[in-house]
Amino acid sequence: MNLTKSTIGSFLDYHAEHYPDLDAAVFYQPDRRFTWRELREEVDRVAKGLLARHISRGRHVAMWGTNVPEWLLVQLACARIGAVLITINPEWKQQELEYALRQSDTNLLIMTAGFSKKSGKKLFRYDYLDLISGLCPEPGDKQCRLNFPELEGIVLTEGHAPRGYIAWETFLQEGEQIADVRLQETIEQVQPDDIAMIQYTSGTTGFPKGAMLSQYNVVNDARAAAEHMRLRLSDRVCGPVPYYHCFGSILFNLGCLVTGATMVVPADHFDSLRTLEAVERERCTALYGVPTMFIAEIDEPERAKFDLSSLRTGIMAGAPVDRELFEAVTQQLGAREMTIAYGLTEASPVTHQTEIHDPLDKRFATVGRPIDHTRARIVDPVSLRELGAGEVGEIWVKGFHVMAGYYQKPEETASTIVDGWLRTGDLGTVDADGYYRIVGRLKEMIIVGGHNVYPAEVEQALHSLLDDKVEIAQVVGVPHPKLQEVVGLVVKCHPGQTLDLEEVRARCEGKLEWPKIPRQLRVVDDFSRYSTVTGKIQKFKLSALLQQGLQPA
C-alpha cells in the first residue's frame, strides 16, 4: 500500500462519479439506503447546513448519538468542508458531556433525542434532552453561554425541537441558501493535514483526552486495515460497532469509503439478532466487532436459522482473542479470513493487524505485525531500553498514524509522544518473526508478592483450562494485605454450567505458576453493565466488584 494525500471528500466524489448507483450505505433498522450518488447529495445538503451556521474549515462540530444515518452524514459533511468532528460517547453522563463540550470548544452540537438499551432484564433510557437541560436549559441563554462560551447552536435530528433548538429540517432548509459554487470553493480549500476529528479516549482514570486525528491519519489507516482484509468494491461490510468510537467512524465508515465497499448498519446500537439478520439479508462479506460481540452472535439462540455463507473476513479488535473464539468465528460464522487488529485512538487507530494468509497460530495468538509504513518496538517502561524477542515491555509505535496530539493538553501530549514514538500504555512481546502479542495494560499489570502478572496472558491460559465451563473470563488485580495484590477472576459461564473457586484453583494447580492462580472469583450473568458502549470490558469496574464483601485470600 502506498500512502495517499487524498482527502476524505475526494473518495466520496470518486465513488459518486464512477459508481453512482452502487450501494454506499444500508441502515437495516430503520430501513434507509443510499447509493453513492445519493450519499454525496445528502452529505452536501448537510455541508451547506453547516456553512449556513457559520461552520467552516477548522471549526468544531460535536455529534451526539448512536449509529443513525445523520451521524454518518455529519461525519462526512464535516470532513468535506474541513470542519473538525467531535465524537461524543452516547452513554456519557452529564459531567462527562459538560467536560467534552467545553474542553473541545464545540461551536455546534448536533444530537439525537437519545436511545434505549437493554442490560440483562433491565431497559435503560438515555434521554439526551433531559441530560443537557441541566447544563443548557435553553440554547443561547445566559447559563448555556456561561457553561459553553463557544457553543453557537444545538441541532436536534428527530422529534419536536424545544425552544432554542434547531430542528433537523430547519437546519437543512437554512443550507439551501448556500450556493453550489461556495460549497465547492470550501471543499477545494481542505487539506489532507487538516484535523478531521477529535476522538476522546475512554478516560478510565480522570477525564478523557481528545486525540486530534488528521484526514491524512485516518484515510491511510482505514486503507491499511481494509487492505489486510482485501476489501474491494464488491464487499459488503456489516458494522455493529459504535460510530463515536474509532472502530465505527474510521475502520468501518472510512474503511468502506476508501474502498467503495458497502456499509451495512444493523441497528443504532449493538444487537446480536439484528446483526445476523443484516448479514443474511444484505449478503455481507465482512463482519466487525469486539470479542464480546462475536460471542453474543455465536450464542444467539436463533443463529442456526440464518444463512451466513456470504461471510469471508472482518476485524476482531478491542481485547485478546483466544483460539476457541477464533475457531468459532471462522467455522461457525464462516468468516474464514477473519483478521485480528490492535491499536488505540491515538494511532488512528490500527497499529498492528494479521493478514488473511498468515499461519493459523499467528492469526489467533498474535495481533500481527505493524501495518505498512510504520514501526513498532518493545521498550522497558522504566529504563526506556529497547527489548528483544520474547521480553515483556511497553509497545511503542511510530508512523503516519500517530495523532497530532491531545487537544489543549501539551503536557499530556509530550509525555505520550517521545521523539515521534507513541507510547501505547500496553504491554506486549514480539517474536522472532515480528509478530506482536498483547499481555495487558501497563497500568493493569498485577504485582503479586513482587511477581509481575499480565492479565491477558492469564486469561489466555484460563480459557484453555476452563473452556468447558466458561464463556468469558476476565482477570484483574485485587488488593491483598501481604502480597500487595492477588489475581481476581470474573467469569460468565456457559448456559447450565457453574463454577467455584475451589475448582478453578484445582484446575490451575501444576498448570500455572502460583502468582497467576486466581484467589478471588465472581460469576456474573452479563458483562454489559461492566462494559463500554463498544463492548469493551472496563476492568476497574470488575476490580470494584471483586472487592465488594472481599474475603481473605
Q: Stretch 86-96: mean pLDDT, rounded? A: 93
Q: Is 296 a residue whose pLDDT tops 70?
A: yes
DSSP letters, 58-104, are T-EEEEESSS-HHHHHHHHHHHHHTPEEEEE-TT--HHHHHHHHHHT
Q: Which residue has the cell 467545553?
A: 102
The helix-helix angle for 8-18 and 36-52 (nearest 10°) equals 140
Residues in contact with 397: Cβ distance below 8 Å, sequence separation at least 6, in sequence order:
347, 351, 370, 374, 375, 376, 421, 422, 424
Split at pLDDT 50, 70, 90, the class of 295 is very high
The rounded distance, in Å, linking the Cα atoms of 390 and 373 is: 24
Reading the block at residue 18, the C-alpha cell is: 464512477
- Look at residue 446 and tell me whether its pLDDT is greater than 80: yes
Q: According to CATH, where is 3.40.50.12780 located in the chain?
A: 8-426
Overall average pLDDT of the 162-188 stretch:
98
Q: Is residue 215 predicted with pLDDT exceeding 60?
A: yes
| Percent above pLDDT 70 for the chain | 98
Is residue 204 pLDDT above 50, yes or no?
Answer: no
Cell of 177: 441558501
Cα 270 to Cα 419: distance, rounded to the nearest angstrom: 39
- Percent helix, strand, coil in the chain, to 5, is 35, 25, 40
Q: Determine the average pLDDT of the residues in 200-209.
A: 70
Count CB atoms within 10 A of the CB of residue 502: 9
Q: Does 3.30.300.30 match the CATH number of domain 445-547?
A: yes
**Which class for 289: exposed (0-12), middle (13-18), buried (19 or more C-beta within 10 A)?**
buried
C-alpha cell, 85: 468532528
CA dist 218 and 347 (Å) reads 9
Contact between residue 553 and residue 480 where contact means Cβ atoms under 8 Å apart = yes
pLDDT at 549: 63
CA neighbours closer than 13 Å in the CB half-sphere of residue 466:
34
Please provide the average confidence, as pLDDT, over all residues in the chain: 95
Question: 323-334: per-residue pLDDT in tens?
Answer: 999 999 999 999
Contact 436, 429 (CB under 8 A): yes
DSSP secondary structure string for all residues of 145-163: HHH-TT--EEEE-SS---T
Q: What is the pLDDT of residue 553?
A: 46
d(CA 516, CA 421): 32
Q: Is the peptide bond before 137 cis (omega within 30 degrees of 0)?
A: no
- Asked whether the predicted pLDDT for residue 206 surpasses 70, the reply is no
Residue 285 and residue 278 in contact, taking contact as beta carbons nearer than 8 Å: no
- Cα separation of 152 and 145, whole Å? 9
Q: Is the pLDDT of residue 205 over 80?
A: no
Q: Is the pLDDT of residue 253 over 80?
A: yes
pLDDT number for residue 141: 93
Q: What residues form DSSP beta bridges with 350?
A: 343
Q: What is the full DSSP assignment across 269-338?
A: S--HHHHHHHHHHHT-SEEEE-HHHHHHHHH-TTGGGS--TT--EEEE-SS---HHHHHIIIIIS--TEE
- In this prediction, residues 538-544 reach a mean pLDDT of 91
Cell of 335: 468468516
- For 107-164, write each residue's pLDDT tens digit: 999 999 999 987 667 788 899 999 999 999 999 999 999 999 999 999 999 989 999 9
Q: Say what the pLDDT of residue 246 is.
A: 97
Please check the confidence at residue 203 and state whether its pLDDT lies above 70.
no
Share of the chain above pLDDT 90, in %: 87
Q: What is the mean pLDDT of residues 266-271?
A: 95
Q: Which residue has the higher pLDDT, 65 or 457?
A: 65
> For the whole model, what pTM was predicted?
0.90
Confidence class for position 202, pLDDT limits 50, 70, 90: low
Q: Could you give the CA distance from residue 31 to residue 25 in angstroms, rounded to a whole number?
A: 11
Which residues are within 8 A (CB) of 357 and not within 5 positions of it... i.e. 6 or more apart? none
CATH of region 8-426, choose from 3.40.50.12780, 3.40.50.300, 3.30.1490.190, 3.40.50.1820: 3.40.50.12780
**Set of cell numbers at residue 197:** 476529528
Q: What is d(CA 294, CA 142) in angstroms, rounded to the nearest whole number?
A: 47
Residues 320 and 332: their CA atoms lie apart, in Å, by 19
